[in-house]
């Protein structure tokens, strides 16, 4: 019996696959639920996640990082990887990201982004628009609202949207963050209208988030299975629960 058990164990070990995927920082709050749902369907596939800003992950992919799939925070980076030949599928939108104005302490947020003009707000956390699509969207919203130039001296830049959230919680008075972060179990105690509000969606271009398979995936069925799962109704339900809009 012991010999049979060991044989079965080694057979299962050999059958197991590990896939390595690059995931934009804003998805870090939903990725555990996505992984859990996927691995329940595919117990022979282990998902290894590398998190970072979309710009930095793209640079790593171009330098040969062995990621087989990329979930970007926008469509621009996957489109560039398709043009360079690093992506082997056309970019597909898997979710639409939403910006939120977030203060760890209760505030009157009824004026939306104009709240940032208050004299007691001295530090505003924003993602770096050069590397983080959520930062680019935040700057776009601030410019369209006519506030960007007035607030320039107050910005504290995070290299990714997750670092921007950390700055908002620890070093800034308020921040422009991914709404998905506020749906995470650790932050759900913060209340809409008291601690956070949606940034007016008319102020920025919708953040279409794109997914592509990359060259290291080759023709592997395990990467394709995860790719198909992210575009499935089950994954869409999870994204919706984390505050994303659906494509």
For every residue of 106-151, DSSP letters joined together read ----TTGGGGGG-TT---EEEE-TTT-HHHHHHHHHHHHTT-HHHH
Least confident segment among 6-15, 73-82, 85-94: 6-15
Decide if pLDDT at 131 tops 70. Answer: yes
- As a whole number, mean pLDDT of residues 207-231 equals 97
> What stretches of the chain show up as alpha helix (H) in DSSP?
2-15, 31-41, 54-62, 76-84, 133-144, 148-151, 161-170, 221-230, 233-241
Quick check: 149 pLDDT over 60? yes
CA gap 63, 45 in Å, rounded: 26
| Domain architecture of the chain: domains with CATH | 2-96+207-241 (3.40.190.10), 98-203 (3.40.190.10)
* Stronger pLDDT, 240 or 5, i.e. the higher one: 240
Rounded average pLDDT over 125-133: 93
Place of tokens 């360079």: 84
Query: For tokens 């799962």, what's the residue?
Result: 229
Whether the pLDDT of residue 233 is over 80: the answer is yes
What's the pTM? 0.85
**99: β partners:** 178
Is the model's pLDDT at 188 over the cut of 70? yes
Residue 101, SS3? Answer: strand
Q: What is the percent of the chain with per-residue pLDDT over 70, rounded to a whole number?
A: 94
Two tokens at 116? 């940032």
Q: Kindly tell me if the per-residue pLDDT of 12 is higher than 50.
A: no
């Amino acid at each position: 019996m012991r010999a049979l058990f060991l044989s079965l164990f080694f057979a299962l070990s050999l059958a197991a696959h590990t896939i390595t995927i690059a995931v934009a920082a804003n998805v870090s709050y939903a990725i555990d639920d996505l992984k859990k749902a996927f691995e329940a369907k595919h117990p022979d596939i282990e998902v290894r996640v590398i998190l970072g800003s979309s710009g930095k992950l793209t640079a790593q992919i171009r330098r040969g990082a062995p990621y087989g799939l990329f979930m970007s925070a926008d469509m621009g980076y996957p489109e560039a990887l398709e043009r360079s030949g690093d992506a082997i599928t056309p970019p597909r939108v898997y979710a639409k990201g939403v910006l939120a104005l977030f203060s760890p302490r209760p505030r009157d947020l009824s004026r939306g982004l104009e709240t940032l003009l208050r004299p007691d707000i001295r530090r505003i956390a924003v993602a770096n628009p050069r590397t983080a699509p959520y930062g680019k969207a935040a700057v776009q919203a601030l410019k369209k609202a006519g506030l960007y130039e007035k607030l320039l001296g107050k910005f504290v830049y995070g290299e990714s949207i997750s670092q921007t959230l950390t700055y908002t919680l620890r070093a800034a008075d308020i921040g422009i963050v991914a709404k998905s972060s506020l749906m995470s179990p650790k932050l759900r105690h913060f209340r809409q209208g008291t601690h956070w509000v949606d940034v007016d969606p008319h102020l920025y271009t919708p953040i279409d988030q794109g997914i592509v398979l990359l060259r290291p995936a080759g023709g592997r069925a395990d990467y394709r299975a995860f790719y198909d799962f992210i575009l499935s109704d089950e994954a869409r339900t999870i994204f919706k629960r984390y505050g994303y809009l659906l494509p």
